Amino acid sequence: MAEVKLKDIVKVYDGGVKAVDNVNIDIKDEEFVVLVGPSGCGKSTTLRMIAGLEDITDGELTIDGKRMNEEAPKDRDIAMVFQNYALYPHMTVRDNMAFGLKIRKYAKEEIESRVAEAAGILEIEELLDRKPKALSGGQRQRVAVGRAIVRKPKVFLFDEPLSNLDAKLRVQMRTEISALHTRLQATMIYVTHDQIEAMTMGDKIVVMKGGVIQQIGSPLSLYNEP
Ligand code: ADP
Ligand code: ADP
């Protein structure tokens, strides 16, 4: 169960750039919401405020009715997948996937079973002992997704996860992430500048421009608007 609400959210960076200006989004449990818009429109900043990686200047973020503005990232029951994968280069795939559970002091057996389960879902079992430099871009992205899955978070955040992949792999991974959403029944918030990605993946699409929301609705409702 995870409803995420952004109420009158504002982000002003040090130096005065207003990156996000009064954004309101109601995200339902198990919804797949895509934030889409051109580079610099405030998508990534919005996602990073939900993750707790940026302070919220004004407004309120709640998850299941609980105010989250001041919660540390690790206390938010959220996992994020980054565009650049953000894998630790000196660690094996297995250790990369286990890391977030280790720092949260999960038992060894629980960590092993969760890593094995996630590796099975993503079909990366045979990569577990490799280091990131021995992986292709698509494999690295699978590991990054695996690292998020093992946490079993209520909310998944994706920040342009496919933009470093070639076109063919991008289409394949779109389908896989959509299938993962169905399988895990989690709330997912996904940032992209790619309109086709937004239209094919989102239950709800939030179109941003210049830090404000221009349109919000289902893919069909956006097609039908003038
Ligand atoms: P998007 O993800 O849509 O490309 P961002 O959220 O990254 O947009 O950026 C929104 C605006 O905030 C841009 O004008 C960008 O230059 C600015 N910005 C982003 N990060 C910072 C930062 N750390 N400090 C100052 N300004 C920033
Ligand atoms: P982006 O492409 O979203 O701009 P960055 O490389 O700027 O990504 O990193 C964004 C954030 O990711 C940083 O604030 C950093 O704290 C966090 N980060 C970096 N590595 C990891 C990691 N391995 N696990 C979780 N968070 C990470």
pLDDT digits (tens, 9 = 90+) for 104-160: 999 999 999 999 999 999 999 999 999 999 999 999 999 999 999 999 999 999 999
Q: Using CA positions, which residue lies closest to atom 7 of ligand 1?
A: 44
pLDDT of residue 224: 73
Residue 188, CA distances (Å) to 2, 7, 69, 124, 204 in order:
10, 18, 19, 22, 11
Atom of ligand 1 nearest to the CA of 20: 10
pLDDT at 225 over 90: no
Average pLDDT estimate for 51-76: 96
What's the mean pLDDT when you consider all of the chain?
95
pLDDT of residue 26: 98
Residue 23 near ligand 1, beta carbon < 6 Å: no
* Closest ligand to Cα 39: 1
Between CA 7 and CA 62 the distance in angstroms is 8
pLDDT of residue 223: 77
Average pLDDT estimate for 49-53: 97
pLDDT of residue 222: 85
Q: Using CA positions, which residue lies closest to atom 13 of ligand 1?
A: 40
pLDDT of residue 164: 87
pLDDT of residue 44: 97
Largest CA distance in the chain: 56
pLDDT at 226 over 70: no
Q: Phi and psi (nearest 5°) for 147?
A: -65, -30
The one-letter amino acid at 134: A
3-state DSSP of the chain: CCCEEEEEEEEECCCCCEEEEEEEEEECCCCEEEEECCCCCCHHHHHHHHHCCCCCCEEEEEECCEECCCCCHHHCCEEEECCCCCCCCCCCHHHHHHHHHHHCCCCHHHHHHHHHHHHHHHCCHHHCCCCHHHCCHHHHHHHHHHHHHCCCCCEEEEECCCCCCCHHHHHHHHHHHHHHHHHHCCEEEEEECCHHHHHHHCCEEEEEECCEEEEEECHHHHHHCC
pLDDT of residue 97: 97
Residues listed for the chain? 226
pLDDT digits (tens, 9 = 90+) for 73-85: 988 999 999 998 8
Q: Phi and psi (nearest 5°) for 192?
A: -155, 155
* pTM reported for the whole predicted model: 0.88
Residue 3: which pLDDT band, with cuts at 50, 70 and 90? very high
**Interface predicted TM-score of the whole assembly (ipTM), two decimals:** 0.75
pLDDT of residue 38: 95
pLDDT digits (tens, 9 = 90+) for 87-104: 999 999 999 999 999 999
pLDDT of residue 211: 98
pLDDT digits (tens, 9 = 90+) for 163-205: 888 899 899 999 999 999 999 999 999 999 999 999 999 999 9
> Ligand 1, residues 6, 10, 13: which to mutate, most atoms within 8 A of Cβ?
13
Four-CA torsion 28, 208, 138, 178, nearest 10 degrees: 30
